[in-house]
């Protein structure tokens, strides 16, 4: 009598073997292990959705043939919640003392990358606490998980209140008049005595006068004052300085505008948004100098 043919039983074919094992994550894809048997070669393939979980996709499939049956052990990644469409994998913030703040995001999404939520000029996805941060640059990667994209987003703007910064440059300028001139002793703004030149000096004598510049930098939603150049405008809390007082019987040169004035305005605008980083340069110009 012939020996019976051995039979390997896996239960009903094309049904799950054992329970699902999920790993739920906050800053990465969820993961799940799934096993099933089938008579069909290719019953489970990379990119297939996990049954009943449309956004969990097979990324690694191991299949083993046992007799006429294929046993599949697969690893799935994605979002366990089918209603979830975007997840932040990483986030970093940089808020320098001067200039725009920066936020770098890496997100995984099933949304079309042209979706308004991810377009240039949009804010931080799913975060309305920072209304003045905007997407300016995007870098797209195709994920190993079917139906997902990885986006690296660069946002610029203002994370919160940012005080104005000020730089003051106290320089001096040397001039050489071609006429006779005279200057008495003077006291500068910090109480020091500057010796003058009593009696007319000779022409072509070199002397120095203060050249003070102030650069105020800030972020604003107001259109910068480009039309205010040239123009008399004293910066708030302007530094004190010593004006130049002299006498001459020769020609003089008049400067306009004189006193404190805007000398330069440089700006950087977030594209398409009413948000500017502005640097305004003020300088002090003497009204009259010897020619």
- What is the C-alpha to C-alpha distance for residues 222 and 161, in angstroms, rounded to an integer? 15
> Do residues 219 and 163 make contact, with C-beta atoms less than 8 angstroms apart?
no
Neighbours of 143 (CB within 10 A): 19
At 1-29, the pLDDT tens digits run 444 433 334 445 677 888 899 999 999 99
C-alpha distances (whole Å) from 23 to each of 29, 52, 72, 286 are 9, 16, 19, 73
Prediction pTM value: 0.79
- What is the C-alpha to C-alpha distance for residues 44 and 36, in angstroms, rounded to an integer? 9
> Do residues 54 and 76 make contact, with C-beta atoms less than 8 angstroms apart?
no
At 144-201, the pLDDT tens digits run 999 999 999 999 999 999 999 999 998 877 877 777 777 778 787 778 888 877 666 6
At 72-120, the pLDDT tens digits run 999 999 999 999 999 999 999 999 999 999 999 999 999 988 899 999 9
What values do phi and psi take at 116, rounded to 5? -55, -30
């Amino acid at each position: 009598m012939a020996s019976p043919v051995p039979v390997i039983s896996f239960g009903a074919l094309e049904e799950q073997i054992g329970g699902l094992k999920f790993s739920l994550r906050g800053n990465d894809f969820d993961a799940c292990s799934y096993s099933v048997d089938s008579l069909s070669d290719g019953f489970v393939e990379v990119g297939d959705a996990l049954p009943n979980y449309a956004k969990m996709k097979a990324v690694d499939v191991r299949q083993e043939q046992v007799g006429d049956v294929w046993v599949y052990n697969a690893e799935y990644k994605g979002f366990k919640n089918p209603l979830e469409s975007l997840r932040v994998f990483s986030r970093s913030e940089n808020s320098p003392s001067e200039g725009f703040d920066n936020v770098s995001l890496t997100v995984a999404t099933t949304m079309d990358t042209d979706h308004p939520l991810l377009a240039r000029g949009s804010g931080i996805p799913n975060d309305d606490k920072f209304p003045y941060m905007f997407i300016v640059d995007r870098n797209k990667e195709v994920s190993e998980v079917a139906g997902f994209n990885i986006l690296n987003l660069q946002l610029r703007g203002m994370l919160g209140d940012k005080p104005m910064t000020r730089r003051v440059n106290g320089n001096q300028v040397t001039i050489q008049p071609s006429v006779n001139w005279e200057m008495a002793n003077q006291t500068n703004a910090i109480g020091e005595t500057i010796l003058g030149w009593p009696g007319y000096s000779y022409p072509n004598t070199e002397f120095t006068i203060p050249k003070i510049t102030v650069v105020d930098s800030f972020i604003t939603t107001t259109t910068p004052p480009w039309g205010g150049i040239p123009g008399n405008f004293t910066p708030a809390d302007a530094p004190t300085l010593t004006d130049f007082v002299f006498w001459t019987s020769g020609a003089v040169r008049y400067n306009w505008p004189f006193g404190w004035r805007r000398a330069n305005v440089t700006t950087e605008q977030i594209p398409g948004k009413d948000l500017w980083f502005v640097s305004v340069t003020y300088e002090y110009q003497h009204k009259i100098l010897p020619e």
